[in-house]
Amino acid sequence: MRWDVARELDRAHGLPRSSVFETLYRTDAWHGIERGVGDLTEWVEGAHRELERRAGRPLPRLHDEWRGAQTAIAANFELVRRLRPRYKLSVLSNADMSLRARLERDGIHALFDDVVVSAEVGMAKPDPAIFRLAAERLGLAPDECVFVDDWDANVEAAREVGMRGVIHRVDKGDDLSKQLLGLGVATQEG
């Protein structure tokens, strides 16, 4: 999620901490979008209006800048390649309907056995049902799964359904390979 970029945008524009994130993702409009309901344009425009309200002045399109900074983490995709075919791998994302097309365009979709997009299935993390669905679609029981996320509430929800969970934050220097190895997931080829 490039939390470092969001924090820097808040700081550079004199906004309260987490303003860029909260105005985009902590709204009723987003909760609809991530479940496949609502208008994407209105969601983004509403988030920008709220950000400007918080600032008390016009602002550049900070949400676009933040979202544009979110790119694939090369080290993690190399790890994904090493984990296959030994493990089944899935993306479970709270995302709008455009995610699958973006993953396919970027060549990421083919690295995974499945992709669960919240907007496509009508439920979102941390709803326990979406974790069960992701496991089921892989043909696994939840206790056979390891869930990785950058949001502690999502990891806790996964643990509550029986998955092992890892909070992984690149901006905090986390090494996903080491984190997984700590849970017994062999992260090297061979």
Both 81 and 59 in one domain: the answer is no
Query: Based on the domain organization, do 79 and 170 belong to the same domain?
Result: yes
| Of the residues 69, 88, 113, the one at which a domain ends | 69
Does residue 31 share a domain with residue 46? yes
Is omega for the bond preceding 85 within 30 degrees of 0, making it cis? yes
- Residue 189 pLDDT greater than 70, yes or no: no
* Residue range of the domain that includes 24: 3-69
pLDDT in tens, 140-173: 999 999 999 999 999 999 999 999 999 999 888 8
Number of domains in the chain: 2
Check whether residue 8 and residue 95 sit in a common domain: no
Q: What is the mean pLDDT of residues 94-100?
A: 93
Rounded to whole angstroms, how far apart are CA atoms 123 and 112? Answer: 21
3-class DSSP assignment, residue 148: strand
For the domain that residue 46 is a member of, what is the CATH number? 1.10.150
* pLDDT tens digits for range 4-58: 899 999 999 999 999 999 999 999 999 999 999 999 999 999 999 999 999 999 9
67, 81, 152, 163, 169 from 2: Cα distances, Å:
9, 22, 16, 25, 9
Closest CA to 88 of 50, 47, 144, 143: 144
Read off the CATH number of the domain in which 94 is found.
Answer: 3.40.50.1000
**Which residue among 69, 84, 100 closes a domain?**
69
Domain boundary pick from 69, 92, 118:
69
Residues 133, 62 share a domain: no
Task: Please state the φ and ψ torsions of residue 2, each to the nearest 5 degrees.
Answer: 50, 55
Domain contains 189:
no
One domain, residues 102 and 49: no
Percentage of the residues of the chain whose pLDDT score is greater than 70: 99
Nearest 5°: CA angle at 180, between 176 and 182?
Answer: 120
Q: Would you give the DSSP letter of residue 93?
A: E
